[in-house]
Amino acid sequence: MRRRFSYANVAATLALVFSMSGGALAANHYLINSTKQIKPSVLKKLKGDIAGFSVTLPGEVSITHDTASYKPIGLSLAIPPGSFIVAGNLALQAMTTSGSGATESACELLDGSHQLQYGAWSPAIPAATAQAAGDIPFNVAVSESAPSTLSVDCVIFFFDGTGLAIHALTGSITAVQTSHNN
């Protein structure tokens, strides 16, 4: 079958080219690149006290204590009412004097006394280094109707080895407010 140029094919191709270029020109013309292009009443609604809140662990903290009971590690963050994206991380290190061992530790991100997220860390401690390191990350969305406090508590479930010490080397909680709940 031989292709021929017909009036319909040429008209359809030209219509397609003009419609695509017209859309690109319109998009370029109506592109918002300054707040002066936004209606003042809309701009007022967009402004607010949307903010970020952050806290870091003040220093190395020992979490070696009685097993099976969660204890605060000193990482807490007060937040106002609103919706937040919360991210946090704990860098942990386990050391033993016996040369090798194993442990299972867990930390939880709390909103007051309510658990938001749970993370566990179960390293085998090799004899060659007598230590292991790892992270427990936290990522969660939170919506509060009243001021609240986010905190991290940790526990050691078991350990195998002598002279075991577990430390939170660094830690942080960051909450970015996405909206108000008034």
pLDDT in tens, 81-100: 888 889 988 888 888 776 77
Whether 2 maps to a domain, the answer reads no
Mean pLDDT of 136-155: 89
Band of pLDDT at residue 48, cut at 50, 70 and 90: low
Whether 110 maps to a domain, the answer reads yes
Q: What is the pLDDT of residue 150?
A: 92
The pTM of the whole model exceeds 0.75: no
Q: For residues 128 and 167, state if they share a domain.
A: yes
Task: Answer yes or no: are the C-beta atoms of 94 and 132 closer than 8 Å.
Answer: yes
Q: For residues 61 and 119, state if they share a domain.
A: yes
Residue 126: pLDDT over 80: no
Mean pLDDT of 146-160: 84
Closest CA to 107 of 116, 92, 118, 115: 118
Q: For residues 96 and 40, state if they share a domain.
A: no
Mean pLDDT of 147-154: 90
Q: For residues 30 and 59, state if they share a domain.
A: no
Give residue 39's Cα distance to chain centre: 33
Q: What is the pLDDT of residue 156?
A: 80
Q: For residues 71 and 151, state if they share a domain.
A: yes
Least confident among 21-30, 53-62, 127-136: 21-30
Domain range enclosing 34 = 7-46
Q: What is the pLDDT of residue 22?
A: 66
Q: Which range scores top for mean pLDDT: 61-75, 107-121, 151-165? A: 107-121
Band of pLDDT at residue 37, cut at 50, 70 and 90: confident
Closest CA to 160 of 67, 69, 92: 67
Please give the structure tokens belonging to residue 47: 């402004």
Q: For residues 106 and 129, state if they share a domain.
A: yes
Whether 85 maps to a domain, the answer reads yes
Q: For residues 37 and 63, state if they share a domain.
A: no
Q: For residues 21 and 58, state if they share a domain.
A: no
Question: What is the 3 state secondary structure string of the chain?
Answer: CCCCCCHHHHHHHHHHHHHHHHHHHHHHHCCCCCHHHCCHHHHHHHCCCCCEEEEECCCCEECCCCCCCCEEEEEEEEECCEEEEEEEEEEEEEECCCCCEEEEEEEEEEECCEEEEEEEECCEECCCCCEEEEEEEEEEEEEECCCEEEEEEEEEEEEECCCCEEEEEEEEEEEEEEECCC
Whether 140 maps to a domain, the answer reads yes
Band of pLDDT at residue 50, cut at 50, 70 and 90: low
CATH of residue 116 = 2.60.120.760
Q: What is the pLDDT of residue 149?
A: 92
Q: For residues 75 and 24, state if they share a domain.
A: no
Q: For residues 65 and 32, state if they share a domain.
A: no
Whether 139 maps to a domain, the answer reads yes
Closest CA to 134 of 105, 108, 158: 105
Q: For residues 133 and 62, state if they share a domain.
A: yes
- CA dist 100 → 109, 130, 162 (Å): 29, 5, 9
Band of pLDDT at residue 140, cut at 50, 70 and 90: very high
Q: What is the pLDDT of residue 5?
A: 76
Number of domains in the chain: 2
Q: What is the pLDDT of residue 59?
A: 80
Mean pLDDT of 42-53: 66
Task: Answer yes or no: are the C-beta atoms of 43 and 35 closer than 8 Å.
Answer: yes
Mean pLDDT of 149-167: 79
